[in-house]
Structure 1
């Protein structure tokens, strides 16, 4: 008893704790709701338990959110990769379609009079041009490896391009009809009696004259190779854009726009 008197505070607290424990035990034994004290105790427990439950739920939601965000990030990266692959596939299909269309256009060269299905031709990709805006000199990706030789005739699907002037192992150089070194004998398509000579101007057009200054020629007429000179007969050269009489030379001068697609030429056919 002396110890209890000397430790009053501790003894009171201990007694209260023991009472509470007994009340709680009694409450659980009786079902937790049969007494006022039991109900009060249950409210105290619920009050204490509620913030802890909320905290635990918040932690759970936070972790769930973190994992969901990670899943979304992974899904987003996967979608980006799939989108990239689809774009690459689409680009490849477009390139294949473009190349197919270019080859179809190139096949039209076999419709020119000197060429036919039995002609020996090689398709070539343009890999280099001169520094000017006009394709006067062209480099292609075929050479001795494909049996190309100097003097071979070069066309695209629209008309005459020029001739091979230099051959290497797997490349060749072409001098186009736009080069000033070129002279081409021509005739008017479907008018074989109308003859003349054209030469390159180093620009996007050709200029020439008619042998007979009384010959019947007009703007829009199509000119083809005459067969005299280097080029075989019947290859389309271009269309007449201007006709005028030069009083100094006493000749009828013609200006011609080539039909070959020099502005965006990517493929040519070389006839051996």
Structure 2
């Protein structure tokens, strides 16, 4: 958990923001495409599409771009056909890595992911070779100003959530995967749209890394994230404040 969030923060400080934004848009459009085809094109009746549109807002995607993506996915021809695939393996220092992808060519994506692991000190494993070290959970985040700690805790418990961690900046609600949409909808009805709502992989234990090993791991994750087919990358490493500061310098 710590490793993944710190990795995101470090990556977001990098340059080439326009290129990153275009890549973010492409990844969200893929998710919108798959979500729109998995059910009705109406977000109100399609929880996955509603989550995808929420992710689009998170990266500031224009509303008309979202609407075009939904229309293209559900129109005649429907554009590209994507398949969901998951890869698992180990990076440098024995760090466990989960890669989620949406691809229109499984062979290309598998080859790219395998090459990334091989070139950067890791090894691609079989499905479920590392996922047993993670918990799959639903995560919903509200700004701290959305409610008091007590009100959020009460509402989350009533909605069926498993845990709430509140701080000045935000409230993070976690729940079982099967109750994710129910919990999110109940909280949205009371507090409005959340800042973030997604399914996540949370490691049960983390591998502490020094600066040298951290650079190697982050290089692998950076290459994986840079793939057009890859949607999400999760890893079970932990960085001390000193190491994180050194990497961000």
Which TM-score band (shorter chain)?
under 0.3
Indicate the structure whose relative CO is greater, using CA pairs within 8 Å and at least 6 residues apart. Answer: 2
In our comparison, the structure showing a higher alpha carbon Rg is 1
TM-score of the two chains, using structure 2 as the length reference? 0.23
- With the length of structure 1 as denominator, give the TM-score of the two structures: 0.21
